[in-house]
């Protein structure tokens, strides 16, 4: 009898780890992308009530966005169009197709030099690579994967799980001062 219990327990653990055993995640499972808005005083706020995420974006930074293949940068010191996050929900199929980028903010425009950047995206659940760094976001200390790029910058990638989805926070910086700017901003995030 103990051998049968062990085999049943092993099968259950394999099922839970490998397949999700009845997981309700399907291609049409959807999650809110939240709202990115500004107020008359120029303060931009990102809020996602479903994820419990909110924070103020710094006035002196730029929102990186695109229209087709053209990248442009909106100063966060100006009022935002109300539809900056155009897609209100994201399906798991879209997340798996890398269509879950919410927004990217930069401290300088690329033509002004290499600056600090923070991107927020919703992805399907990602396998965790080598997590060789720490990053504090709000009051949470999360493990991050750190890497050097060919451009001479350093990246940190953090994933926070929300069931069928991961919130991916990707930061890039070239100097210790830029990393400090990023850390100060991420300290204000409520997760």
Residue 29 has pLDDT above 90, yes or no: yes
Q: How many CB atoms lie within 10 A of CB 39?
A: 11
CA 23 to chain centre: 23
When mean pLDDT is compared across 39-43, 55-59, 141-145, the lowest value belongs to 39-43
pTM of the model: 0.82
Q: Output the pLDDT for position 27.
A: 94
For residues 187 and 138, is the Cβ–Cβ distance under 8 A?
yes
pLDDT at 49 over 80: yes
Confidence of residue 9 (pLDDT cuts 50, 70, 90): very low
Inform me whether the pLDDT recorded for 85 exceeds 80. Answer: no
């Amino acid at each position: 009898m103990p051998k049968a219990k062990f085999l049943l327990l092993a099968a259950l653990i394999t099922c839970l780890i490998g397949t999700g055993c009845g997981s309700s995640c399907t291609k049409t499972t959807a999650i809110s992308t939240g709202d990115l808005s500004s107020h008359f005083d120029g303060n931009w706020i990102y809020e996602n009530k479903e994820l419990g995420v909110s924070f103020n974006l710094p006035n002196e930074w730029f929102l990186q966005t695109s229209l087709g293949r053209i990248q442009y940068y909106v100063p966060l010191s100006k009022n935002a169009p109300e539809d900056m996050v155009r897609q209100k929900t994201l399906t798991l199929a879209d997340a798996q197709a890398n269509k879950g980028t919410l927004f990217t903010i930069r401290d300088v425009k690329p033509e002004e030099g290499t600056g600090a950047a923070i991107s927020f995206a919703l992805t399907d659940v990602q396998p965790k690579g080598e997590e060789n760094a720490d990053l504090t976001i709000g009051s949470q200390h999360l493990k991050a994967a750190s890497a050097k790029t060919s451009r001479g910058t350093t990246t940190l990638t953090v994933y926070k799980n929300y069931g069928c989805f991961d919130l991916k926070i990707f930061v890039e910086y070239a100097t210790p001062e830029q990393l400090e700017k990023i850390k100060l901003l991420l300290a204000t995030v409520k997760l």
